[in-house]
Amino acid sequence: MNHLKRINSALISVFDKGNLEPIIGKLNKLGVHIYSTGGTKEFIENLGVKVTAVEDITDYPSILGGRVKTLHPKIFGGILARRDNITDQEQLKEYQIPEIDVVIVDLYPFEDTLASGASDQDIIEKIDIGGISLIRAAAKNFKDTVIVPSKNQYQDLIDLLDEKKGETSIEDRKKFALEAFNISSHYDTAIFNYFNSDFNIPAFKQSSISGNELRYGENPHQKGTFFGNLDDVFDQLHGKQISYNNLLDIEAAVQLISEFEETTFAVLKHNNACGIASRNDLVDAWNDALAGDPVSAFGGILITNREVNMQTAIEIDKIFFEVIIAPSYASDALQVLKKKKNRIILIQKMFDFPKMQYRSMLHGALVQDRDLKMEIEADLKTATKKAPSKEEIEDLLFANKLVKHSKSNTIVLAKNNQLCASGVGQTSRIDALRQAISKAKSFKFDLNGAVMASDAFFPFADSVQIANEAGIKSVIQPGGSVRDQESIDYCDKHNMAMVFTGTRHFKH
């Protein structure tokens, strides 16, 4: 069956008129009858192209300050009429309704207006009614009508007009309809989420117009796509395409470094910090972060909260790594880092991350508040007879930040604002502690005077006992176990300090 149809008429009503002129010129050259209204009609007339006002079809002017222009049976009848339906065709003749073969729309910029911080009144006025209705109507009748739903599809129509000289296939029209419902559903989702910010009804609606196809997913046999706009968060200065696993590590790195105001450098691998240190000088922060685990740092993700200078870049360049993230780079440092062609170099922009997070789960999605709580000294409750020293408190708070951003079960050992070692992703807290102690010793760290942080409470006293035997004398943990007293009693007996935060930081 031949579904090629010729475009004889077009309705055009757009907000963004950029790149519209070539479309008008091509439609005019093809002898297409153009209908329009308002500012779009004036734009077309100024091009010297004949256009029929929508009001001349409907016999109604634009009313209510422009809120009602195209919402009329003579417009929607021309769009929705089935060309192979005898009754539809008879009614078109009876009511003098012209057929409309292509509809070109660009909606009011609701999301841009919302992001601009405009008033509620201005935001509401940017909820498009006529345009969204035109999109849905034309997309529904894709068998007979072409719908161009946004400025992003202008070029697609231009290419189609060039290629097929004013004719379209059913496949062409269905693809435009697909884009139309993508646009309309996304638009409605944005509006819903705006209204729901005041009510927070339990509905899960997230939308992204387009995705970036990745080389593959977590493994080469899996497909992967990123939905979102990385350009809002980073400028990529150099390197290969960011991978699925890179993105997971980058997310973990960005969230971790956000906890630190001091000059800090971190190295991450598989979403966990394998090295991190805070120092007065950036190069010292890098060297001490690397010392935390120079083996795992190979192929890792590096992040800092300071401009990377030449001295630090020279040191960094001595190892192989996948990604480096910083707020800026000195020009000479950048030249050093760019020596490896695949090395991904990112500038992190100022960006407010969503306060909600979600993941697919079973046959649905899990949604929760992002863990934005981080304890300060005033939140600490000393549970033992001995209180931690000022230096120990500083290390305890440092270690607690790392615990929050490490996979559970996790134990972090730190000293002098440096990660000595951590045990992460273990099925028992004891295993996590033993892993951390073994790792610290393998890299020649002296744990005498180090501190220990735990993401959850200790159900027994065995963890503080093992820590004490390793030389650790100060502990931070949430508390809350029915057997807290056993750990407290052991610490008191062995002159250890322990503080409770009252907050668990599981991360799975």
**Is 270 assigned a catalytic role?**
yes
Q: Which of 164, 186, 238, 270 is catalytic?
A: 270
What's the CA gap between 305 and 401, in Å, rounded? 15
> Quick one: 391 exposed, middle or buried, by C-beta within 10 A (0-12, 13-18, 19+)?
middle
Instruction: Give the residue among 106, 101, 88 at the shortest CA–CA distance from 184.
Output: 106
Is 330:311 a contact under the CB 8 Å cutoff?
no
Nearest to 7 by CA among 38, 29, 37: 29
Closest CA to 477 of 411, 416, 392: 411
Two tokens, residue 233: 């968060």
Residue the block writes with tokens 């000595």: 420
Closest listed residue to residue 374, CA positions, set 395, 403, 412? 403
Torsion on CA atoms 32, 38, 40, 44, rounded to nearest 10 = 60
**Number of C-beta neighbours around residue 278 at 10 A:** 22
Active site residue 143: no
- 373: exposed, middle or buried (Cβ count in 10 Å: 0-12, 13-18, 19+): exposed
Kindly provide the residue ranges of all beta strands, DSSP E only, lying in 370-468, ordered along the sequence: 381-382, 411-414, 419-423, 451-454
**Number of alpha carbons in the 13 Å side-chain half-sphere of residue 217:** 5
Residues with Cβ within 8 Å of 115's Cβ and at least 6 positions away in sequence, in order, are: none
Quick one: DSSP state of residue 119? -
Residue 340 corresponds to which tokens in the numbers above? 């490896």
Among 17, 26, 140, 186, which one carries the catalytic annotation? 140
Instruction: Give dist(CA 43, CA 374) in Å, integer.
Output: 55
CA 278 to chain centre: 28
**Letter for the amino acid at 16?**
D
Helices (H), 95-240: 110-115, 120-125, 130-140, 154-164, 170-196
Orientation angle between helical segments 462-469 and 484-493, nearest 10 degrees:
30
Residue 329 contacts residue 347 (beta carbons within 8 Å): yes
Residues noted as catalytic: 140, 270
